[in-house]
Each structure stands twice: as C-alpha cells, then as structure tokens.
Amino acid sequence: MYSAAENAAAAAAAAERTAFRGAEKRYKLYKTLPHRPKSRKRTTTGTKPTDLSDVVDFKAVLDGFAGGRDLPPGILRFDCDGFDRPVFCIEDRPGFFFIPSALTIEEQCYWIRESLATFPQPPNRANLTAIYGPIYGLFNAAQNQKVLIETEDTDTLVDHELNGSKSSPHSQKFLFAETSDVHRVETCKSIAALALLKKLRWSTLGLQFDWSKRNYDVSLPHNKIPDALCTLARKMAVPALPFGEDFHPEAAIVNYFGPSDMLGGHLDDMELDWTRPIVSISLGCKAIFLLGGKTREDVPIAMFLRSGDIVLMAGEARECFHGVPRIFTDDDHAEISAILSQFSAEDDRCYADYIRNSRININIRQVN
C-alpha cells in the first residue's frame, strides 16, 4: 500500500509523460547556458531554437483564403449570418472558433490601456491583493516612478500627502509614495511600483473568482463588467451561440504574461452552462496556444495567437485541456511593431515598455 505522498508523486510523474505535457515541453522557452566571449566582459545568453513547423498559423490561413487558396486539412471556414469577420474552426474540435485579426490596432491599444490602468483597480481583485491588500492606481504609480511602502501609520501623512487619493481607505497598509518622500515615513517594506506592475499576473472583473476554492464568490464586492467590454464580448460570441440566443457577460479573468511565463494545461469548468462560450481576447506579444482533447493523453493542436485574435470555446470545446506554453518577445516573432507605433508618444512610454515583452489575455464568461 502506498502513502498519499507516494501516490501524489506517481500521479505527478504520470502527468509529465502525457501528450499534452510533451507538447508544452516542445514549445516552451529554453534559455541556453551563459556564454562569455573572449573579446568582451559581458556574459551573453540565448534561446534554444524551436521547431514551429507544426504550429497552425491562422493569419496565413486567412491570407490564403482571401487569395483563393484551399484551406489546410482539418481547418474549416465557419459561415455565420450577420457576422462581419472571417471565422475558422477545427474539424475534430467542435465548439472551438478562431477569429483572426478581430480587433483593429486602435482597439487593441484601447484594451491594453484598460487592462493595465483600469482592470486591476479595486474592488477588482488581483494576484497582488493577497499580499498587499487593495492597491489603487498601480499603473499611474508605475508611470510616475513611485514606490509602494508598508507603514504603521496610514491615517495621516501617507494617506493624504503621499498617496493623493481621498478615496483610499484608512485601513490600507500599503500605499504609494514619491521616491523622495520614502525617508519621511517609518516603513517596513517597500517595492517600486514598476517592479510591482511586472509581478501582476491576473485580475478579475465582474463576479470575483476565488482561486483557492475554484469558484465564484458572490459575497465579494465587485463592479459590473465595463459596458464596452460586454458589448464587444456579445458581438464576438455570436458564432458560438445557437441562432437567436444571447451571451450575458458576468465575469472576466485578465491574465498577464511576462517573457518566460506559461499557462499550464487546464480546463475552464467552473461556469454552470458550458454551451455559453468563453470569449478570449489576445493582446500584445504573439503566443503559442495548445488545444488538447478531453484527456491529457490527447495530442494537442498548437496554433499561434497574435494581438487582436479572438478565440471562442463552447460546448465540447469547454471540455478540452488548453494552455499557453510560450510567448515570443524577440523582434522576429513578437509581431507588435504596429502597437508600439501607436504608443510612441511620451505619455504612452510606460505602455510601450510593458507590452513590448508581455502578453495580455482577457477571458469573458457567462457564469450562471
């Protein structure tokens, strides 16, 4: 008889041998060992080359379709009355829909701004909330090179003079301060706002998701999803809905990916009605998306996700394991030059610096 620890170890070892895990290892970012050239003092690192020949490229599919070429085997064009964008699906993954270049560059920049400046704002919760409590004005603080400090006295100087926000509750333990003013407050902990922004990994809109219990906690304070995001999600959800039925956005999870981040294979299975799609919006650097089957043993299909692409997953596709093993931040593969040109103004420098090596994914859901 095996102990619980031994059973867990055996299960973990088995998971490492699945087809899905094999695909994750194939496409993830591997850095080469540091190399110190004889002629220079600086240590250099690189990345191991990855074979991308089997990755489905829906941009190429769209361009080929527009040019009158046949679609690749297993890829189908989905005709949807009244929908004004090309939609593709995969023959053996019913309920999965891919809408390439669904958003204009201007729309992408708008949602990047919202994802960084607005969506992490309380009462929306983020991965940082458990550590620092509600954080107000994170992106603005990063733009202005402020520092988050821990202070024992939040009723006076910090709350009014340094944080500059009368709406911030006096019970806040962590507040932003000017770098030059940090010495004025007895502080236990401090971290630059810009460094904190780079640690942002998720935020939740609408009904708040409790990651520890893996369910939606209706008792947590929350605001409704912004009207503009609801409108966009309803419009884009149409191909995945039965004719005449509506999509009612109630929650969204915003994921933030840094250069080496990945999202392991998982199911989005906490919503009650799986006939309603998840509307997934990609922003920023290009990524690889893996769409598996109903078990981890099913060989996943790899595809590129570019900024402005939208994916819908409904019905049987909701039962498919999926994940993101890789984002591309190098100039040859990131494909964000058009976005960076829109963020060329001095006021947009912080957006440009962030998105040039990051990816944002907004997943909108109907919970009930």
pLDDT in tens, 328-367: 999 889 999 999 999 999 999 999 999 999 999 999 999 9
Least confident stretch, 97-101, 127-131, 271-275: 271-275
Instruction: Answer yes or no: do 357 and 214 share one domain.
Output: yes
Instruction: Answer yes or no: do 77 and 106 share one domain.
Output: yes
Tell whether the model's pLDDT for residue 33 goes beyond 60: no
Task: Tell me how many domains the chain contains.
Answer: 2
Instruction: Answer yes or no: do 174 and 316 share one domain.
Output: no
| pLDDT mean over 138-167 | 67
What pLDDT sits at residue 60?
96
Asked if 136 and 168 touch (Cβ cutoff 8 Å), the reply is: yes
| pLDDT mean over 212-228 | 89
Residue 153 lies in a domain: yes
Q: Which residue has the tokens 């690189």?
A: 46
The residue among 30, 312, 337 whose CA lies nearest residue 355 is 337
Tell whether the model's pLDDT for residue 281 goes beyond 80: yes
What is the spatial distance between Cα 254 and Cα 9, in angstroms, rounded to a whole number? Answer: 32
Domain boundary among 169, 198, 227: 198
**What single-letter amino acid sits at 352?**
A
Q: For residue 28, how many other CB atoms are within 10 A of its CB?
A: 15
Q: Exposure of 181 by Cβ count < 10 A (0-12 exposed, 13-18 middle, 19+ buried)?
A: middle
Least confident stretch, 33-47, 247-261, 332-346: 33-47
**What single-letter amino acid sits at 257?**
F
Instruction: Answer yes or no: do 223 and 352 share one domain.
Output: yes
Q: What is the C-alpha end-to-end distance of the chain, expressed in Å?
A: 43
Instruction: Answer yes or no: do 234 and 315 share one domain.
Output: yes
Q: What global pTM score does this model have?
A: 0.87
| pLDDT mean over 274-300 | 96
What is the spatial distance between Cα 65 and Cα 167, in angstroms, rounded to a whole number? Answer: 53
Domain range holding 87?
58-118+200-365
Which residue numbers belong to the known binding site for Fe cation? Answer: 266, 268, 322
Instruction: Answer yes or no: do 280 and 351 share one domain.
Output: yes
The fraction of the chain above a pLDDT of 90, given in percent, is 69
What pLDDT sits at residue 103?
98
Q: Give the distance from CA 309 to its chain's centroid.
A: 13
What pLDDT sits at residue 29?
82
Tell whether the model's pLDDT for residue 170 goes beyond 80: no
Instruction: Answer yes or no: do 241 and 159 share one domain.
Output: no
Which residue numbers belong to the known binding site? Answer: 266, 268, 322
**Coil, strand or helix: which one is 222?**
coil
Instruction: Answer yes or no: do 295 and 207 share one domain.
Output: yes
What pLDDT sits at residue 163?
46
What is the spatial distance between Cα 96 and Cα 196, in angstroms, rounded to a whole number? Answer: 35
Instruction: Give per-residue pLDDT as tens, 47-74.
Output: 778 899 999 999 999 999 999 999 999 9
What pLDDT sits at residue 11?
54
Residue 97 lies in a domain: yes
What pLDDT sits at residue 152?
65
What is the spatial distance between Cα 196 and Cα 187, in angstroms, rounded to a whole number? Answer: 17
Domain boundary among 155, 181, 198: 198
What mean pLDDT is reported for the chain?
87
- What's 90-146 look like in SS3? ECCCCCEEEECCCCCHHHHHHHHHHHHHHCCCCCCCECCHHHHCCCCCHHHHHHCCC
**Coil, strand or helix: which one is 190?**
strand
Instruction: Compare 120 and 35 and report the one with higher pLDDT.
Output: 120
Instruction: Answer yes or no: do 107 and 158 share one domain.
Output: no
What pLDDT sits at residue 168?
46
Instruction: Answer yes or no: do 90 and 229 share one domain.
Output: yes
Instruction: Answer yes or no: do 74 and 143 share one domain.
Output: no
- Tokens for 82, please give them: 């009244």
Asked if 297 and 16 touch (Cβ cutoff 8 Å), the reply is: no
What is the spatial distance between Cα 315 and Cα 317, in angstroms, rounded to a whole number? Answer: 5
What pLDDT sits at residue 314?
96
What pLDDT sits at residue 182?
64
- β-pairing, 301-305 vs 88-90, is unpaired
Residue 124 lies in a domain: no
Instruction: Answer yes or no: do 181 and 86 share one domain.
Output: no
Domain boundary among 167, 198, 229: 198
What pLDDT sits at residue 282?
98
Task: Tell me the CATH number at 108.
Answer: 2.60.120.590
| pLDDT mean over 277-289 | 98
The residue among 356, 358, 368, 268 whose CA lies nearest residue 311 is 268
Instruction: Give per-residue pLDDT as tens, 80-118.
Output: 988 999 999 999 999 999 999 999 999 999 999 999 999
Instruction: Give per-residue pLDDT as tens, 179-192.
Output: 766 666 555 678 99
The residue among 188, 160, 161 whose CA lies nearest residue 174 is 188
pLDDT band at 159 (very low <50, low <70, confident <90, very high): very low
Instruction: Compare 201 and 40 and report the one with higher pLDDT.
Output: 201
Residue 45 lies in a domain: no
- Tokens for 335, please give them: 């494909």
Tell whether the model's pLDDT for residue 44 goes beyond 60: no
